[in-house]
Amino acid sequence: MKRFVVLAGGLAVLAYGPGPATADASGFYKDKTITILVGYGPGGGYDAYARLVGRHFGAKVPGKPNVIVQNMPGAGSLRMTNHLYNSAARDGTIIGTFSRNMPLMGILGGNRNVQFDPRKFTWLGSPSSAENDAYMMFVRRDAKAKNIQDILKPGGPTVILGGTARGSTGNDIATLLKDAIGARIKLIAGYRDTNALNPAVERGEIEGRFVGLSSVSSTYPHWLKKNSLVYPFVQFARRTRHPRFPDVPTVRELVKDPKAMALVKVAEIPYQLSRPFAAPPELPADRAKALQKAFMDMASDPRFLADSKRMGVDVSPVGAKDAQAMLNDIAAAPDEAKAYLKKLLFSGKKKRKKKKKS
């Protein structure tokens, strides 16, 4: 597995190594139940990964505890993330999965509702680094805009997308694309989760949305069939085009301005931790190591891999140390890019002022 580069000047943070699980952890987890909290409702990509993990994780934890999944939707997973950091039991019986943009939000600041420091979570990692995934803009075939170039040309049509809450990836990337490449996008925010967004697209209430390819594969696979209701416009968080969509451009191909490219590159960092899993801060060290080792052991287990293949979701695991490295990458990004992303994504600021032609 590729390692993420820790940029010079990154913050020094604690990263537990996988290490051997101790007898104390085994004794603790026997006859216990681990709860996986999901920051979204049932039926979406994060929920699908949580339930995949829930079916296999307990068998790898010392003592083989039972594992259950509990949904706690709200504010694009911010509600659950705050709960995991501040209120959840710090004994190793609670873990959570939340929006990949939560670490970005926590480090950049700019949202007074954020009540967590992502660097202090006990990180387990992610079952996917999005190495074989893509974050796509899907748009209805009957929309006025027929391709990404239509919404880039002056006077062209505007595409109406749906989103959840500020800080969620669908909202933030739509906002970023409006600014970075001048995409004509109208965002209708406030949808609860995928279970609300996808039906809204199918009803024609909105024309499209941003969503991960793995999420679509596992929850709305008919969107990927030939001549389906929707089709992809653009790919985000990819340096090259996904082999399944060779005719769909990446955002990087469309960015012309170097400063805008810097913004895109910082915004893409969280996708290396595509489906983040973490426990509260300050777990007993033996339990933290046991959970981290179990997470990576699970990700290479043949039964887990067969289950993920059946679901059609990407597995390219990221461990705790690489999760911390990703946080360092965000913290070490150029100050100008971080400050602008903070204003653009989390403070509701408008576009950069264009220089007047002389």
Which among 100, 80, 84 is positioned nearest to 92, based on CA atoms?
A: 84
Mean predicted confidence (pLDDT) in 160-169 = 83
Residue 133 has pLDDT above 90, yes or no: no
Residue 23 has pLDDT above 80, yes or no: no
Residue 350 has pLDDT above 80, yes or no: no
Predicted local distance difference test score (pLDDT) of residue 172? 84
Which among 154, 152, 155 is positioned nearest to 137, based on CA atoms?
A: 152
pTM of the model: 0.77
Predicted local distance difference test score (pLDDT) of residue 343? 82
Predicted local distance difference test score (pLDDT) of residue 347? 62
Mean predicted confidence (pLDDT) in 165-170 = 74
Q: Quick one: pLDDT band at residue 9, thresholds 50, 70, 90?
A: very low
Mean predicted confidence (pLDDT) in 157-170 = 86
Give me the half-sphere count of Cα atoms (radius 13 Å) on the Cβ side of residue 68.
6
Query: Domains in the chain, ordered, with CATH?
Result: 23-129+272-333 (3.40.190.150), 135-268+340-346 (3.40.190.10)
Predicted local distance difference test score (pLDDT) of residue 4? 36
Whether residue 54 contacts residue 46, with contact meaning beta carbons closer than 8 Å, is answered with: no
- pLDDT by residue (tens digit) across 55-89? 999 999 999 999 999 999 998 899 999 999 999 99
- CA angle 327-328-334, nearest 5°? 110
Q: Are strands 159-162 and 185-188 parallel, antiparallel or unpaired?
A: parallel
- CA angle 123-125-130, nearest 5°? 145
Residue 275 has pLDDT above 60, yes or no: yes
Predicted local distance difference test score (pLDDT) of residue 318? 94
Helix 169-180 to helix 258-268 angle (10° resolution) is: 170
Q: What's the per-residue H, E or C state across the chain?
A: CCCCCCCCCCCCCCCCCCCCCCHHHHHHHCCCEEEEEECCCCCCHHHHHHHHHHHHCHHHCCCCCEEEEEECCCHHHHHHHHHHHHCCCCCCCEEEECCCCHHHHHHHCCCCCCCCCHHHCEEEEECCCCCCCCEEEEEECCCCCCCCCCCCCCCCCCEEEECCCCCCHHHHHHHHHHHHCCCCEEEECCCCCHHHHHHHHHHCCCCEEEEEHHHHHHHCHHHHCCCCCEEEEEEECCCCCCCCCCCCCEHHHHCCCHHHHHHHHHHHHHHHHCCCEEECCCCCHHHHHHHHHHHHHHHCCHHHHHHHHHHCCCCCCECHHHHHHHHHHHHCCCHHHHHHHHHHHHCCCCCCCCCCCC
Which among 104, 102, 86, 103 is positioned nearest to 94, based on CA atoms?
A: 86
Mean predicted confidence (pLDDT) in 94-104 = 94
Q: Which distant-in-sequence residues (6+ apart) come within 8 Å of 323 by Cβ?
A: 15, 123, 124, 125, 126, 273, 276, 278
Q: Quick one: pLDDT band at residue 8, thresholds 50, 70, 90?
A: very low
Predicted local distance difference test score (pLDDT) of residue 167? 64
Q: Which distant-in-sequence residues (6+ apart) come within 8 Å of 350 by Cβ?
A: none
Q: Quick one: pLDDT band at residue 179, thresholds 50, 70, 90?
A: confident
Token readout for 343 is 């204003």
Predicted local distance difference test score (pLDDT) of residue 356? 42
Distances in whole angstroms, Cα of residue 29 to Cα of each of 67, 93, 339: 11, 8, 43
What is the phi-psi region of residue 130: left when phi exceeds 0, alpha when psi lies from -120 to 50, beta otherwise? left
Mean predicted lDDT score pLDDT of the chain: 88
- pLDDT by residue (tens digit) across 209-262? 999 898 898 889 999 999 999 999 999 999 999 999 999 999 999 999 998 998
Predicted local distance difference test score (pLDDT) of residue 6? 35
Q: Quick one: pLDDT band at residue 1, thresholds 50, 70, 90?
A: very low
Predicted local distance difference test score (pLDDT) of residue 184? 97
